[in-house]
């Protein structure tokens, strides 16, 4: 993850692309604190993308972060929902039903964890044995997009914001449990 010295280097390069930009005191520290969870190579790629886009004004933290996270999410090679469905069906058909009953057989393996999660949510047997493929496919596509969106939101959320969310989630669960025990 990027430290302040790496952000300073990239910031200096970006400021050359926007020669009229003059950073105020503390600006680099604010950028560094908001970008610290992003790997340095992604920060550089995002900076190059922003420079190439030719915006009139120096990019905000939000724009830089958005560009960096778009690069990270696209770089992950996430299959589209249709590609995921095709792989799920192909793998389910390849393995067939025998894997559940034969000792030592492996579960079907998928190219991306989102496909694995979606097959698990929908049900391997449902995909393999359905008589109404259209309905199962529609459910799969919707579930896959939901899982992908949840993953994207999670990756875009700042680490310190996640900590605050977890604190309040834990507090809410505790209050719910106390309310149920009365």
Q: How many domains does the chain have?
A: 2
Residue 40 and residue 69 in one domain = yes
Last residue of a domain, one of 47, 75, 103: 75
32 in any annotated domain: yes
Residue 34 and residue 63 in one domain = yes
163 in any annotated domain: no
> Residue 120: which domain range?
81-155
- For residue 100, what is the DSSP state? G
pLDDT, position 52: 94
**pTM given for the model:** 0.66
pLDDT, position 102: 54
- For residue 21, what is the DSSP state? -
In tens digits, what is the pLDDT along the chain, a chain of 182 residues? Answer: 877 888 888 888 888 899 888 888 888 889 888 888 899 999 999 999 999 988 889 999 999 999 998 898 876 678 999 999 999 999 888 876 655 555 555 667 899 999 999 998 998 888 888 889 999 999 999 999 999 999 888 888 888 888 888 888 877 777 767 777 76
10 in any annotated domain: yes
Last residue of a domain, one of 75, 103, 118: 75
Residue 63 and residue 91 in one domain = no
CA distance linking residue 154 with residue 152, whole number of Å: 5
Tokens found for residue 40: 């340095």
pLDDT, position 12: 85
Cβ-Cβ contacts under 8 Å for 151 (sequence gap 6 or more): 114
pLDDT, position 76: 65
Last residue of a domain, one of 75, 97, 113: 75
165 in any annotated domain: no
Residue 69 and residue 94 in one domain = no
pLDDT, position 145: 95
CA distance linking residue 115 with residue 11, whole number of Å: 38
Neighbours of 136 (CB within 10 A): 20
- For residue 23, what is the DSSP state? P
């Amino acid at each position: 993850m990027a430290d302040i010295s790496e952000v300073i280097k990239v910031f200096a390069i970006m400021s050359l692309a926007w020669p009229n930009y003059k950073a105020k005191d503390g600006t680099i520290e604010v950028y560094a604190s908001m970008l610290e969870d992003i790997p340095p190579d992604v920060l550089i790629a995002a900076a190059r993308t922003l420079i190439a886009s030719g915006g009139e004004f120096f990019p905000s933290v939000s724009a830089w972060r958005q560009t960096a996270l778009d690069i990270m999410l696209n770089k992950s090679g996430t299959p589209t929902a249709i590609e995921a469905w095709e792989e799920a069906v192909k793998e389910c058909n390849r393995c067939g039903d025998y894997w559940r009953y034969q000792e030592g057989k492996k579960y079907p393996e998928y190219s991306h964890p989102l496909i694995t999660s979606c097959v698990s949510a929908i049900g391997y047997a449902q995909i393999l044995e359905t008589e109404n493929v259209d309905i199962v496919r529609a459910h799969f596509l919707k579930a896959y997009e939901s899982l992908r969106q949840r993953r994207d939101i999670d990756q875009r959320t700042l680490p310190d914001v996640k900590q605050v969310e977890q604190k309040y989630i834990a507090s809410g669960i505790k209050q719910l449990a106390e309310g149920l025990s009365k």
